[in-house]
Amino acid sequence: MKIFDKIKKLGEKGIVLPLVLSYSLVFTAQITGLAEYASHTQRLVQSQQNQMTSFYLAEAAAEKTVAAVRLYIAQNGISPSSSVLTTLSAAPNISSSGASYTTASVASFGSGGWTSKTLSSGDYSGLSASTQTVNIVASATDNKGGVTHNTTVSQTLEVQLIPIFQFGVFYQEDLEIQPGATMTFAGPVHTNGNLYVGVDSSTSSLSFQSSITAYGTILHARKGPGTLGTGAVNIEDSSGTYQNMYLGSGAGQGWLDSGHSSWATMSQTRWGGNVLNAAQDVKKLTLPLPSTTDYHTLIERRVSGESSQLQAEKMDYKANVRIIDGSILDQNGTTIELRYCSGGGTYNSSNNTCPGSQTVVNPVSTAQFYNFREGKTVKATDIDIAKLNSSPSFTALVNANNGVVVYFSDSRSSGSSTYQDSVRIINGSQLPTKGLTVASENPMFVKGSFNTTSKQPSGLVSDAFNILSGNWSDTNSTNTGLSGKTATATTINTTVITGNTDTTSGQYNGGFENIHRMHENWSGVNLTYSGSVIVLYNSTKATGNWVYGGNYYTAPNRIWSYDTSLSGGTTSIPGFPSVFNVAKAGYEAT
């Protein structure tokens, strides 16, 4: 028995040892595997970290260049040159990151230079523009932990120069549209400020038939005094169906504007991208002028020593005819003789006579009438378009140019509390072929229908834009209570660039619906307007507050529309500016 027990104990020892050795081998293999797994995981994590680092660094360099290009255009009002573009594309300093740029941010213009096309995407799809592409490439490498990863980010920008008249309504500052009567307007609407919309009644409506973009907020509210009515504000969606800004009276409904908690997403859903503001990254559209330049400078008289950039944009430098303090000049300051003889005889400028029984025809004359809004007597220089069209000197300018620009500036009554210098256009139903733009740093008046026969490209640019019907009488201008100042139906086809006054807490500026200043009893009378309305600055000459009724005016039946011939790139208005937009046109990361 004792021998058996000894043999049993020896057998147990022989079995246990191999088992122990087997388990040791298994444990060793598992530990080795775990170590390999941990090492692989570490390399994978390091690779992912390096990938993310290189990607974010490359994207940062590209985005820095995108922002620099946008800022340069906004501040300087010009597209950067190739040398400036190289400076703008310098990569950020990453010396302390442990990574490096294999290709620092590089920006270059696309081939072909500036090209004209219709924009097919983006905030201003459908408008025509001159475009220039900028290609931006940045590559970064991170090799920490012995794992190398390189990422290249490529972005394409499209610098767009859009003729400003393609917008049905364009405001540099806040845009207020709050009519009392029903109003419908077509054409794209843009403001570089905030948009305040609504109607001043519960039975009227305001309708927009095109896209709306605002750099600021879009609000169903008044900026100034008073409250709005509950009338509908309808905006067409991407399929052309009106959608009301008012959602209903339930919880989370009300007016869908920038104050709504779900504005950013619900506005996209409701209007299909047809209503955009800062929440959807709408950018400010800028004129080709430095950011420190007051846009009123566009219409001001030239000053010696002005930069080439100002000279390229100011209307005075673009003019074929310049009427300065009563003198009629060309670009070089040489006198232009617009007078002529009624029968075609030779006009004698030395003694202002014509041969035989012929009479002197002068397209430029003077008149006076009273303006209750300004509380001043207007000293008007009248430009008779019908007579101007027959002037041999002017006809020569028409034939030699692709549209004519006339510039007016009069400072002879400057500082007067009694008189105000202005320009008035009369007999303007038929314009010269190829188009006419009249620009003035003074207030402008148009009497009677304008550009209604053989419609031509046309622009009227001024400190303030005033409409007088064909029934206007200078003699009756001082009558109180609108006595003897009943308007007749008037049609105007033109694009207007004008100034306005600011709305304050106690004073409404009249809004877009009253941007055309009137001085007659228009009640029940049609004012038909077709074109585009652009407000770029505050008026500096005609600063009187908007007042309704009394001695001032009553509103017409507004039959206003956007002139669709202004879109599509086939129309050009003499001397008119364009605005810059910078859009992302492509992105790739490899």
High-pLDDT (> 90) share of the chain, %: 75
Domain extent listing, the chain: 2-166+582-589, 169-280, 361-555
Q: What is the pLDDT of residue 135?
A: 92
| Residue 62: predicted pLDDT | 85
pLDDT tops 70 at residue 493: yes
Q: Which helix (H) or strand (E) holds 17?
A: helix 2-76
Residue 237 in this model has a pLDDT that exceeds 80: yes
Residue 252: per-residue pLDDT: 82
Please give the pLDDT value at position 445: 98
Can you tell me the distance from the alpha carbon of 16 to that of 33, in angstroms, rounded to the nearest whole number?
Answer: 26
Q: Which amino acid is at 332?
A: N
* Top-confidence residue, 223 or 10: 223
Q: Check residues 325 and 42 and name the one with the higher pLDDT.
A: 325
Q: What is the pLDDT of residues 120-143, one digit of tens each?
A: 988 998 899 999 999 999 888 887
Q: Mean per-residue pLDDT for 153-159?
A: 91
Cα dihedral 346, 348, 352, 355 sign: negative
Residue, of 20 and 519, whose pLDDT is higher = 519
What is the number of residues in the chain? 590
pLDDT at residue number 56: 83
Q: Which residues of 402-438 are buried (b: 16+ CB within 10 A; e: fewer)?
A: ebbbbbbbbeebeeeeeebbbbbbbbbbbbbeebbbb
Question: In terms of C-beta density within 10 A (0-12 exposed, 13-18 middle, 19 or more buried), how is residue 222 classed?
Answer: middle
Q: What is the pLDDT of residue 19?
A: 56
pLDDT band at 89 (very low <50, low <70, confident <90, very high): confident
Residue 53's pLDDT band (boundaries 50, 70, 90)? confident
Report the alpha-carbon distance of residue 45 to residue 43 in Å, rounded.
5
In the structure, what pLDDT confidence band is assigned to residue 7 with cuts at 50, 70 and 90? very low
Q: How much is the average pLDDT of 1-15?
A: 53
Tell whether the torsion through CA atoms of 113, 115, 120 and 122 is positive or negative. positive
Tokens representing 52? 């993310």
Q: H-type helices in 77-116, by residue range?
A: 82-88
Cα-flanking dihedrals φ and ψ of residue 15, to 5°? -80, -40
- Are 154 and 108 spatial neighbours (Cβ–Cβ below 8 Å)? no
| Cα gap 430→300, rounded to integer Å | 27
Distance CA 233, CA 218 (A): 12
CA distance 373 to 369: 12
Could you read off the pLDDT of 328-363 as tens digits, one per residue? 999 999 999 999 999 999 999 999 999 999 999 999
pLDDT of residue 150: 86
Of 279-288, 439-448, 486-495, give the lowest mean pLDDT range.
279-288
Q: What is the pTM of this model?
A: 0.89
Q: CA-CA distance, 446 to 498, in Å (whole number)?
A: 13
What mean pLDDT, rounded, does the chain reach? 91
* Residues 457/476, Cβ–Cβ less than 8 Å: no
Q: Mean per-residue pLDDT for 227-237?
A: 94
pLDDT recorded at residue 2: 57
Element containing residue 197 per DSSP (H, E): strand 195-197
Cα separation, 255 vs 246, in Å, equals: 4
Q: pLDDT category, 147, cuts 50, 70, 90? A: confident
User: 97-111, 192-206, 351-365: lowest mean pLDDT where?
Assistant: 97-111
For residue 471, is pLDDT > 50? yes
Average pLDDT on 442-456 reads: 98
Mean pLDDT of 150-158: 89
pLDDT more than 70, % of the chain = 91
Mean pLDDT of 228-235: 95
| Side chain identity at residue 490, one-letter code | T
